[in-house]
Every structure is written in structure tokens, then in C-alpha cells.
Amino acid sequence: MEELYANSWYRSHFQTVGTEYQEVMLGYSDSAKDAGRLSSVWELYKAQEQLVSLSEQHKIPLNLFHGRGGSVGRGGGPQYLAILSQPAGSIRGSLRATIQGEVIENYFGTERACELTFERYTTAILQATLTPPARCEESFREAMQRMSEKGCESYRKMVYETDRFVDYFRAATPEQELKLLNFGSRPSKRKAGGIETLRAIPWMFAWTQCRMHLPVWFGVGSALQQEIDNGNLELLKQMYAKWPFFQSTMELVESVLAKVDIAIAKMYEKNLVPVDLLPIGEQVFAEMQRTIDCIKQITQRDQLLANNPVIKRMYDLRRPMTDPLNVLQAKVLKEMREQENPSAELQEAFAATVQGIASGMGWTG
């Protein structure tokens, strides 16, 4: 961007096309799949700060285009707090964002839903423009950098470096079977290979179906625990209370952990995962519990979503309606994997469970 801004032809191009601002798109999906959510959001936060500073130096207005997916693992989730948690100066009266898949129906499916969506965006953008957040304390940034590095290290060690993790992933989730369904605008993979070649949507979608949501929280617990072990619990509590960015990050992870169902996830594991891969599952569930425990310590709440009873009640109401679909899906998957060519009846049953679970969870991927 600095080279572009310094280019005289590029600067004159603004007048040629009549554009008054520079637009830059921020991508959430692949960065989260490659490095884990904690590292992804922190690097994007710093990138926005640098873009704002650069635009101010060259006196070129900046408009950021947030390429968010539907799920939290791809940058989605409640947008009001997310907008307010952006760096100072990154929102100045406008913002552009993608709204994808089933989220379109949720946000604009009815006249009232549409009104509420525009109210949330308008209120948040006005508030962020008129009363931008102050720069956080340096100790907060230093702690966030340490957690970003630790979270990325833990995430990549499991997802990309653990021997046979790909086998565990494909056994514990319906990732392979999802390819049989006729949905999605793009192929699930860019080319043949492991996790690195898998697109972000099927990566998130597969973990959503078995109710584990691993891409959102894996590595977060290890990062938080490292700070707590180093005597920084009070610092983390201050960050949560005073820094909108950290508060938003923790609460989005908390909201997804509230959707996780350990019993259902272990039921998939028991029925579908070979015995020799179970030690990987033990590490996964240990990190899940670590993340839950750390977030409870930082938020000082005994239960997840205790501060948001409306959302908690919605999750509690949906859970018993979704559980039978998960039980059925695990049974169907087992039968499909026992057959060389699964019958049309089994494939139709599988497709029905996929649609039902996605509706229950509120997103596909």
C-alpha cells in the first residue's frame, strides 16, 4: 500500500475514476485456518492500525472491507461488539462487509430482521466514528502478542504437525461425506492434499456438524493458560474489562464454546474414530476444557454466557432438537463407511441430518 500511495499514476487514478477513498479488503477465513483464531484476529487488528496510519500520512481516506463468513471461525458472529472493537480511526462513517449463506436469511429474511440489522450496523458505525476507542495500554498489547504467538504455536502443532491428525479429523467429522452433497459454490479443496489444501468453509462446516467447533477455540486455552501460569490473571481481567477488542474476542469464543456439546462430540468419536487415533482426541478435549476454564476465570462467571441469558436460552432450546439429528448422523455415517457404495437412501438421510444440524447451529461454515 505504501508503494501504491507513493506512485504518482496511482494517485492520479483516484481523480480519473472519481473515487474519494481507498478500499482494502480484510480476509478472516484462511488466516484463521492457517494460524488459529487468536493469531488471526490480532494480526488483522495490527494490520488495520498500520493501514489507518499509512492513509493518514498520505491524506487518503480509507474504507475497510471486512470479508467475514457466517461462522465465528470465519470472522462472523454478532457484529455490534465486533465493530466497536475495531482500532481507532479504522471506521469513519462507513464500513463494508460481506454477508454470506444462511446469514443473509437471518439478517434480511423478514422486514423486522432487516430493520434490526441496519439498526445494529448504523448504531455501531456511528458510535465507533464519534467516540473511537482510545489506544490500549502497552502491557495489553504485549500480552496479546504473547498469546497470539502461543495460540498459533499450539494450533499449528496440533492441526499441521501432529501425526495422523488429518485421519482423526476425517474420522470424527463428516468431512469426506460432505463432498457427496450437491451444495457450495466452489470445490471443497483447491488441490489434492491435507488440511492446507482444504477450503475454510468445509473445514469449519465439518467441525460444526459434530458439535466440536474446533477451529474457533483450539490454541486459545493454551495461550490464556500460559499467561495465567505466569501470574497475569489480573492483567487478563483488566484487558477484558477495559479493552473492547479483547472483550469481543473472548465473548465470541465463549459463545461458540456454549454451542459445543462434549457428549455429542465423544459419541461421534466412540462410533467413528479408530482406537489408535483416540490419543489425539484426548489432547483435543483437554484443550477444549482448558479454554472453557480459562475464559470462566477471566470473565469471572461460573457459566458460559451467564451475562447473556437470551442467547443462552436460545442455545438451550435448540440443543434437544438438534441432539437426535447428531445421533442419527453418527449412525448413518457408520453405515455409509461400511459400504463401498452407500445407497441413495443413506445419502438422503445424511443430507437431511446435515441440513438439520446446520439450522440448529445457526450456520453452515
348: which 3 cell numbers?
438422503
Q: Over the stretch 242-289, which tens digit does the pLDDT of each residue have?
A: 999 999 899 999 999 999 999 999 999 999 999 999 999 999 999 999
Q: Would the pLDDT of 83 be above 90?
A: no
315 within 8 A of 256, measured Cβ to Cβ: no
Which positions ≥6 away from 227 have C-beta within 8 Å? 143, 146, 147, 233, 235, 236
Which positions ≥6 away from 253 have C-beta within 8 Å? 37, 72, 216, 217, 220, 291, 295
- φ and ψ of 162, to 5 deg: -75, 125
Per the model's pLDDT, the better-predicted residue between 236 and 3 turns out to be 236
| pTM of structure | 0.88
Say how far apart CA 46 and CA 51 lie, in whole Å. 9
Residue matched to cell numbers 443462552:
312
Which positions ≥6 away from 208 have C-beta within 8 Å? 71, 357, 358, 361, 363, 364, 365
Closest listed residue to residue 190, CA positions, set 205, 201, 181: 201
Give the pLDDT confidence score for residue 94 in this predicted structure: 85
Coil/strand/helix, residue 25: strand
Say how far apart CA 203 and CA 198 lie, in whole Å. 7
Per the model's pLDDT, the better-predicted residue between 361 and 285 turns out to be 285
Which positions ≥6 away from 330 have C-beta within 8 Å? 267, 268, 271, 272
DSSP 147: H
